[in-house]
Chain A
Amino acid sequence: MSFISYLINGISLGSIYAIIALGYTMVYGIAKMLNFAHGDVIMIGCYVVFTTVTGLGLNPYLSILLSVIVCTVLGVVIEKIAYKPLRKAPPLAVLITAIGVSYFLQNFALLIFGADTKSFTSVIPMNNIKLAGDKLVISGVAMVTVCICIVIMLALMTFIKRTKAGQAMLAVSEDKDAAQLMGVNVNGTISLTFAIGSGLAAIAGVLLCSAYPTLTPYTGSMPGIKAFTAAVFGGIGSIPGAFIGGILLGIIEILGKAYISSQLSDAIVFAVLIIVLLVRPTGILGKAVHEKV
């Protein structure tokens, strides 16, 4: 019985990693850059929801919408100011700038919101389900997270396959110059990707903080790194890969803690990652999948 509940916990943790990883992987596919600031955009999104709900008493759904808007704008602004001027620079230069942006967002939040921990009230009204005589509890947040994660993944895949903008993204990710020659607005497409990725970050943030209700300026950084790992795990650039990578990472983390050692959980997660990458050097769904974005 406890195995099943470990598994459920793993899936619920993993689906949060997966949503964050989706944002990572989209941006990577288009801009070929690791957006280290992604985790911190999540944190900003959480603070927006927190302040508007507990401070201003806004309706939670409105505040989530507001947070998505703020994060989207933030993502686009970051792209315009910090990344766009470096499009022709070596990829490492952009990576470092992304780290600079990450530090900036953390310290900005530290100044504005303070260092003290805030307790995030779950904005998800779902009740927990109890099975097998209360022995097995499935939290409402976990169910909602998994569902939202699947919906977002499917929506993204459809968007890329069926819409013009999605096709443009695919084209830019394959070959930027050729896409430009074919009349694709490359800058616009990249901005759109950042907008979507950051919007997703806001949703991921709400789910993260609903499941694990503490909020500090550094809330986003560790899940961000873990999600980045998940994205690589699944094959960076691949949308279903990010989903699978995220879920697997969550399950491995929980099962490793449960059956091997909670003291060594980080080492276990990363060791599995290394083994997988050695067997499949481009991640689980690395090259086999053609929906590279």
Chain B
Amino acid sequence: MKSLKKLLSLSLVCVLAVSALVGCGGKKGGGNSDTYKIGGIGPTTGEAAIYGTAVSNAAKLAVDEINAAGGIDGKKIEFDFQDDQNDTEKAVNAYNTLKDWGMQILMGTVTTQPCVEVAGKTAADNMFQLTPSASSTDVIVNDNAFQVCFTDPNQGLVSADYIADNALAKKVAIIYDSSSVYSSGIEEQFVKEAAVKGLEIVANEAFTTDSKTDFSTQLQKAQDGGAELLFLPIYYTEASIILTQANTMGFKPVFFGVDGMDGILGVENFDTSLAEGVMLLTPFAADAEDEATQNFVKAYQDAYGEVPNQFAADAYDAIYIIKAAIEKTGVKPDLSAGEMGDALKSVMSELSIDGVTGKSMTWDEQGAVSKSPMAVVIENGAYKAMQ
């Protein structure tokens, strides 16, 4: 009996080892293909699955559109999206899996912590990397990495300025996710800028990934502090609970969110009357009137049955940005990842793109995007642009 157990485990080891080695050699270095191979990385399982899935869906949509229209200069795009479960180590595995597949350009990763790690890897390979949504400044320290979204400090800064300049409130409370790089990054900068602008922070409360069901305490402290405005640099999943609980308590400050708040109206079965009057700074609004946004939203809804959030919009733009960069340089798909990286990163500062997340987006030396966030307010269950 024991020997069989051993035999089994040994044979399993062999099978796995062999299957791991299958398809080695040959493919190294990308090249020699007739298609552009673009890879994507993000969480499609685990707690952050909602973001990775949105990016994956939207990117596939964009790729299909481009291919249906004849590809880039007649060459098709192949797209493969790998799951990283929002974990640094698994993101490296995903990156290597894509490299084994022959990836030439990386559109990812979706979340910040894994992205910082992968950015180190792409820098070593000189692979062109464009992240749709990893917003920390650490992501773009290398010259081969670019962002479609705003950086975190930028969002904190702009939010505080907007609140102070428009005199929305004097007393501000914050609820943020202290275990998230995204949220604590915005919070940190917001607090600094608020001090400069003379905003009084009456409550600065946190929650963590492990205790994000109940926000009554944080809200109570904000209310006791007499907050006129509640700044929420968090994602809409938690924000929807906060809105519900604040409503139960009868606490009615101005709610002010950032790009993570976008999507709150798309939550299935959400009572949008709760979000009435919520303000947010976002580059993307799913019910914007312009044609590009409407086409994207319609196509996304047809394909996946839900309204795209800001992650999806960033990813959709990311693919078109890559397309524009390829067209600008005229690189052919037979180049290796490193050669393609050299060509693409040199033209990024010359591009100006009209996408669904912003008009005439440009990139600075750092790799950060320059686009203007829209301040919108939710009225009658829809976004309305503010001055």
Contact = CB atoms under 8 A, between A and B. Distances in A.
Direct contact of A and B (CB under 8 A): yes
Interface of A: 2, 5-6, 9, 13, 50, 54, 107, 110, 114-121, 128, 130, 134, 137, 139, 208, 212-214, 216-218, 222-223, 253-254, 257-258, 262-263, 265-266
B214 A254 contact: yes
A88 B306 CA distance: 48
Given A54-B268, A262-B218, A110 B206 contact: no
Contact of B269 (A119, A130, A266): A119
* Count class of interface residues, chain B: 35 or more
14 contacts: A6-B216, A9-B214, A9-B216, A114-B53, A115-B52, A116-B54, A119-B240, A119-B268, A128-B248, A139-B248, A222-B211, A257-B217, A262-B205, A266-B208
A258 B268 contact: no
Given A128-B248, A222-B212, 7 more contacts: A9-B216, A214-B240, A254-B216, A257-B205, A257-B211, A258-B221, A266-B208
Contact of B208 (A115, A117, A265): A265
Nearest to A128: B248
A52 to B, nearest CB: 12
Given A2-B220, A213-B241, A263-B206, A115 B44 contact: yes
A137 B249 contact: yes
Residue among A9, A13, A118 with most chain B CB within 10 A: A9
Nearest to B205: A262
Contacts of A217: 49
A130 B213 CA distance: 23
B224 A2 contact: yes
B53 A137 contact: no
B211 A253 contact: yes
Contacts of A6: 216-217, 220
Contacts of A266: 208, 210-211
Interface of B: 44-47, 49-50, 52-54, 178, 205-208, 210-214, 216-218, 220-221, 224, 236-238, 240-241, 244-245, 248-250, 266-271, 306
B127 to A, nearest CB: 27
A218 to B, nearest CB: 5
Contacts of B248: 128, 137, 139
B378 to A, nearest CB: 15
B218 A257 contact: yes
Nearest to A53: B269
- Which 6 residue pairs of A and B lie closest in terms of their CB atoms, listed nearest first? A115-B49, A119-B270, A9-B216, A257-B217, A115-B50, A263-B206
A124 to B, nearest CB: 12
A269 B266 CA distance: 34
Contacts of B221: 258, 262
A263 B211 CA distance: 10
Contacts of A253: 211, 214
Contacts of A137: 248-250
B71 to A, nearest CB: 30
Nearest to B306: A116
Given A134-B250, A212-B241, A263-B206, A115 B53 contact: yes
Contacts of A116: 50, 53-54, 266-268, 306
Nearest to B307: A116
Contacts of A130: 250
A182 B236 CA distance: 57
Contacts of A218: 46-47
A223 B213 CA distance: 8
A222 to B, nearest CB: 6
